[in-house]
Amino acid sequence: MLGEQNRSFLFVFWGVMTEPHPSPNLLPRERQERIYQLLQTRRFASVKDLAEALGVSEMTIRRDLAALGSRGLVERVFGGAQLLEQSGREQGYTQRLYQHQAAKELIARRAKQLVFEGDTVALDASTTAVYLARELKGREITVITNSLLVAEAVADGNTQLLVLGGLFRPVARSLVGPMTEANLQGLHVDKTFFSAKGVTLRAGFTDSQMAEVAIKRLLIQAAAQKIALVDGSKFGHTALHTVVPLSGVDLLISDIRPPEEVRAELEASGAAWEVAGG
């Protein structure tokens, strides 16, 4: 019986690392995201295991790990790499920025098509908003945000930028607190784009940081059109605080088809959903 249990454990353990169809032709960025996803499932992986899983050389994996390490996503250890432990703390912006990067870029490209010259748009402090800001750079629009990353990404002579003041949160490079909230009073925008840590039928769009939630809620309240940008990893997860229920948005854009119950609730409330690139 013990032998059978051990064999079962080894099957599950190694099954996490082995991809059914290794993809040696992935671009470096895509391969690095795949490495990061694999490390999320088991915290540590050897260079040899990663090379076999992805069908590339160990030298290629070492270069990828060095690139991920420079972004603060992984830590090189003897024989391989491991995720930087967060000990329950909020992930830093560098780590979040490169999670699910391809999905965020796809969503951002679709979202930019909803922005027209002369629009006033609000972007929250999510990393998905950073990708949208990059797409909007140079447009003759007004952007309101509490994110220094968004501000830096969109800053251009053609774009009018309003950065909300407040208390600086280094972990997210955002501005929050009573001053930020006061600056939002009386503002009206055409569209607010926001993201969330989790999306479920019961809890709606959720986030773990109350200070950020307060700003997201005000940005949403100020908007004529409320647009949620969430990659597929957020579905089925619930963070501590509800930002807004599913019925509180006009449109949800994701890289995958939302779960059936989420789609049904959105449609019942008159909201729409889209799969970017679909």
Instruction: Identify whether 23 is part of a domain.
Output: yes
Domain C-terminal end among 85, 109, 133: 85
Q: Which of 85, 118, 147 is the last residue of a domain?
A: 85
121 shares a domain with 63: no
Residue-level pLDDT at 30: 83
For residues 108 and 243, state if they share a domain.
Answer: yes
Q: Please tell me which residue, 40 or 141, carries the higher pLDDT value.
A: 141
Same domain, 65 and 117: no
**66 and 108 part of one domain:** no
pLDDT class for 278, splitting at 50, 70, 90?
confident
CATH number of the CATH domain containing 38? 1.10.10.10
Residue 44 has pLDDT above 90, yes or no: no
CA distance 161 to 179: 18
In this prediction, residue 16 carries a pLDDT of: 40
According to the model, what pLDDT value does residue 94 have? 65
**Spatial distance between the Cα atoms of 262 and 242, rounded to a whole number of angstroms:** 15
* Same domain flag for 144 and 59: no
- pLDDT digits 0-9 by tens, 8-27: 322 223 334 445 445 667 88
Residues 188 and 60 in one domain: no
192 with 211, same domain: the answer is yes
Q: Indicate the angle between helix axes 127-136 and 101-112, nearest 10 degrees.
A: 50
CB atoms within 10 A of CB 97: 20
The confidence band for 91, taking pLDDT boundaries of 50, 70 and 90, is: low
Record the tokens describing residue 110, joined without a space: 């679709």
Q: What is the mean pLDDT of residues 166-178?
A: 90
Q: Is residue 247, in this structure, part of any structural domain at all?
A: yes
The two three-digit tokens of residue 214, written as one number:
């307060």
Instruction: Output 175-181 pairs: Cβ under 8 A, ≥24 positions apart.
Output: 175/146, 175/147, 175/148, 176/146, 176/211, 176/212, 176/214, 176/215, 177/211, 180/146, 180/215, 181/214, 181/215, 181/218
71 and 103 in a common domain? no
Q: Tell me, what amino acid is at 102?
A: A
Q: Is residue 90 part of a domain?
A: no
Question: How far apart, in whole angstroms, are the C-alpha atoms of residue 7 and residue 14?
Answer: 11
Higher-confidence residue: 74 or 102? 102
In a domain, residue 129? The reply is yes
Domains in the chain, number: 2
Per-residue pLDDT band at 90 (split at 50, 70, 90): low
Let me know whether 248 and 187 are in one domain: yes
Predicted local confidence at residue 24, as pLDDT: 65
User: Tell me: the pLDDT tens digits for 26-42?
Assistant: 888 888 888 887 887 67
Measure the CA–CA gap between 135 and 143, rounded to whole angstroms.
Answer: 12
Average pLDDT, the chain: 86
Q: Where are the beta strands (DSSP E) in 183-222?
A: 189-194, 198-200, 204-207
Residues 6+ apart with CB under 8 A from 45: 17, 35, 38, 39, 80, 81, 82
Digit-coded pLDDT (tens) for 210-259: 999 999 999 999 999 999 999 999 999 888 899 999 999 999 999 999 99
Q: What is the CATH number of the domain that holds 187?
A: 3.40.50.1360
Residue span of the structural domain in which 194 resides: 95-275
The residue among 84 and 178 whose pLDDT is bigger is 178
Q: Tell whether 116 and 221 lie within a shared domain.
A: yes
Q: Are 129 and 78 contained in the same domain?
A: no
Q: Decide if 77 is inside a domain.
A: yes
For residue 234, being part of any structural domain is answered with yes
Those residues with Cβ within 8 angstroms of residue 21's Cβ, 6 or more apart along the chain or in another chain:
none
- Note every long-range contact of 23-26, with CB atoms under 8 Å and residues 24 or more positions apart, other chains counting: 23/54, 23/55, 24/54, 24/55, 24/56, 26/54
Residues 165 and 239 in one domain: yes
Query: Which of the four pLDDT bands, split at 50, 70 and 90, describes residue 87?
Result: very low
Looking at residue 14, its pLDDT comes to 33
Final residue in a domain of this structure, among 56, 85, 114: 85
pLDDT digits (tens, 9 = 90+) for 193-221: 999 999 999 999 999 889 999 999 999 99
Of the listed ranges 15-24, 72-81, 268-277, the one predicted with least confidence: 15-24
Tens digit of pLDDT for each residue in 158-167?
A: 999 999 999 9
165, part of any domain:
yes
- Confidence at residue 100, expressed as pLDDT on a 0 to 100 scale: 87
Interatomic CA distance for residues 266 and 103, integer angstroms: 21
Range scoring the smallest mean pLDDT among 16-25, 103-112, 136-145: 16-25
Is 237 a member of any domain? yes
Paired with 167 in beta bridges are 176
